[in-house]
Amino acid sequence: MWPDHGVMTNGEVSGTGRVWEESKHGIRHLRCTVPLMGTDGRHPVWRVGSVLRHILGLSQPERARAWRDGVVEVNGLRVEAQHRHCVPGDVVSVTFPDIVSTVIPEPGLSLEVIYEDAYLLAVAKPAGQLAHPARSEQTGTVANAVAARYRLEGRSLDAVRPIHRIDRDTSGVLLFARDSRTARLLSRHRDRSPLERDYLALATGNVPASGHIAGWMGPVLGHLTRQRMVDEEEVRLAPTHSPTGDPLPKVAGWSETNFRAVARGRSASLVALRPRSGRTHQLRLHLASAGHPIIGDDLYGGTNEYGMERQALHAWRVTFRHPETGVRIELVAPLPSDIRHAVARALGV
């Protein structure tokens, strides 16, 4: 019998039953029935670790925490190994402690709220502010302000869960989930996420009316943040393991961006961009690789024109179906004054 409380959500793999999930007093409980898929049901085709990943939708850190600090069961019996087989119809359940926030609440920080309900919080991030604490910068970020808001509401145990992040000098919509289930539904498999992010950028030159930029991206060795386009041959030949057999980080990841020119001039264009993947500095590098670096983006060749003292990139809109109600939500942050003034000077609009 399923409990008569908690949240029921449809599984994400064809043929699954429902996933039951509850988070209470800092403890997460999830349960599902192993689906009939690619088998007649008489032979084991699933590993328990795969059920946790593909059916229950747990991330790698969540799975590690479940095995290390929680309890994983098949049909009520505790399982100790991820490779344990289970068959369709088996009930897999997992209980483990949820993340407790380590973000320091800062009530004095301003926070421009765009949207808020029991599941989500969206804010307009100003340029010059980090979205979330970094190793060398634990305070002053948007997440610190969000943590303070949660504490004011009596939600001090809640982790601050950004669904996506934007660079320090990029302004715009920033979305946070209030619970782990909402975060999972919106951010899992970002390349195929139901969440669409639209950006506006003032780019150098006369950008084509529309287009698609795609390719492998990876970090520049010896640089903390800079990225580069990586040749497919380099990706193919890159070693995956060290001489000792330890796995090596991937040289690059695939990236895709759709773009459309909103207004064009001889020396600059206002461009709408929609990333189809979520790589670091993706939009900045893609435009630069196409010969149209963003104005003010000195890291990727953009010139400091039209009064811009940072990259003229703005996370304008986020669109998605609400994970609880199914209602289409559209969140918009208007262009900040520095980009508006730069567009007016560059294009006369």
User: Which residues have a catalytic role annotated?
Assistant: 167
Cα–Cα nearest to 30, from 89, 85, 108, 93: 93
Task: State which amino acid sits at residue 226.
Answer: R
Q: Tally Cβ neighbours within 10 Å of residue 316.
A: 21
Partners of 10 in the beta sheet? 18
144, 104 Cβ separation under 8 angstroms: yes
Q: Which residue has the tokens 């095995």?
A: 67
Nearest-angstrom CA–CA distance, 20 and 11 = 9
